[in-house]
Amino acid sequence: MSETKQPGKATLLEIYRIATLIKTADDRFIALIKAGQIASPYYSPRGQELIPAAISVSLTPADYVVTTYRGIHDQLAKGIPLKPFVAELFGRATGTCKGKGGPMHVTHVASGLPVTTGIVGAGLPIANGLAWASQLKGTDQVTVVNFGDGASNIGAFHEALNLAAVWKLPVIFVCQNNGYAEHTKYEYGTGAATIADRGLAYGIPGVEVDGNDAVAMWQAASTAIARARAGEGPTLLEANTFRFRGHLMGDDSHYIAKEEMAAAIAADPLPRFRAWLIEQGHATDGQLADIEATNVAAFEEAVEFGLASPYPDVSELDKDVVAEGVQA
């Protein structure tokens, strides 16, 4: 192994900017639902912000990111524009999907976000196809596909890892292991000691990393991305993390031991990263406060845009079903 790479100051601050933007969005979205200003199912990524933030700084706009119903962190990290993003969460005509996707299915092709699936594990086989197209066209695009620990037990995961291995596809399989598949604890539902171990079964590198450590996450992701770009094939990255706000909003996490939750929240990766950035001299408290304030202002502007936007016309039911519109 060569000497471990270190992220530069600008990279670290960009990771911080993205991670705190995700937290801002999550806090605000939950507040809006609680206030009754919008009605929506919502799967919070709170606690998992550093994973996509640390991945995205090694991606280009042309790279693809595939994610799931718990996906706003991945979408924001990929650079989805805030106004149509928020409008989509609100089901408005100005949303990225004209309100037809909603919070479980936010996509934005121009940002490299073509698929957000609500079906556990289904993104992985599709990621292979995106990567196959890049491979055929001879571009150096990579595809990052995010999923949870629960997805590693479904057939699509295994079919996809095997195909990616035999076709040597430029895919990075990112398992955001938050310890719970819906309500089921990892140790009960998963036979393997680690998900990274499952890479071995398909002949691809399986790398376990602390997803709550920005530097370690950046190192693991940038290595896997460089490997895929160089045509050396897929990597399975297991990023260990924790989910602070249940599976679905309204779920009180009763199946998680109080001490476990308390310990996880006490080790919240965001304040920890913030303190580390200051301690290491990468930023002052004031600089980080500025980043946070800019995020809040930008997000608030997007919320105003979303709330002021119209709902789609009912005639939209007949549009975008097939190329010709209505199906005979």
Q: Which residues bind other proteins (CB under 8 A)?
A: 64, 95-101, 105, 107-109, 114-115, 117-119, 122, 124-137, 143, 155-156, 159-160, 162-163, 166-167, 319-323, 327-328
Please check whether residue 109 is in contact with residue 136, taking contact to mean a CB–CB distance below 8 angstroms: no
Nearer to other proteins, 169 or 291 (CB): 169
The nearest distance, CB 325 to other proteins, in angstroms, is 10
Q: Please state, in angstroms and as integers, the Cα–Cα distance from residue 312 to each residue in 91, 101, 237, 327, following that order.
A: 8, 12, 39, 20
Tell me how far apart the alpha carbons of residues 234 and 212 are, in angstroms, rounded to a whole number.
23
Q: Nearest distance from residue 296's CB to other proteins, in Å?
A: 28
211 vs 312, beta carbon nearer other proteins = 312
CB of 118 to other proteins, least distance (A): 8
Q: What's the min distance (Å) between Cβ of 309 and other proteins? A: 13
Min CB(104)–other proteins separation in Å: 9
Q: Residue 154, class by beta-carbon neighbours within 10 Å (0-12 exposed, 13-18 middle, 19+ buried)? A: middle
Amino acid symbol at 219: Q
* Nearer CB in complex with other proteins: 154/296: 154
Residue type, 184: T
Nearer to other proteins, 30 or 154 (CB): 154
Q: What tokens appear for 211 in the block?
A: 């997803």
**Residue 93 or 296 having the CB closest to other proteins:** 93
CA distance 75 to 114: 10
Asked if 145 contacts 153 with a C-beta cutoff of 8 angstroms, the reply is no
Q: Given the complex with other proteins, which of 7 and 99 has the nearer CB atom? A: 99
Q: Report the alpha-carbon distance of residue 262 to residue 264 in Å, rounded.
A: 5
Shortest distance (Å) from residue 237 CB to other proteins: 19
Shortest CB 260 distance to other proteins, Å:
33
User: Residue 304, CB half-sphere, CA atoms under 13 Å: how many?
Assistant: 6
Instruction: Please name the residue ranges forming H helices in 178-284.
Output: 186-189, 198-201, 214-229, 258-266, 269-279
Strand extents, DSSP E, the chain: 64-68, 115-117, 143-148, 171-177, 180-181, 184-185, 206-210, 235-240
**Which amino acid, 107?**
T
Please check whether residue 218 is in contact with residue 11, taking contact to mean a CB–CB distance below 8 angstroms.
yes
Nearer to other proteins, 7 or 121 (CB): 121
Phi, psi (5° rounding) for residue 207?
Answer: -120, 125
Short-list 94, 93, 90, 152, CA closest to 123: 152
35 versus 326: smaller Cβ distance to other proteins = 326
Give me the least distance between CB of 97 and other proteins, in Å please.
Answer: 4
C-alpha to C-alpha distance for 249 and 237, rounded to whole angstroms: 27
**Smallest separation, CB 77 to other proteins (Å):** 19
Instruction: Please say which residue, 138 or 281, places its beta carbon nearer to other proteins.
Output: 138
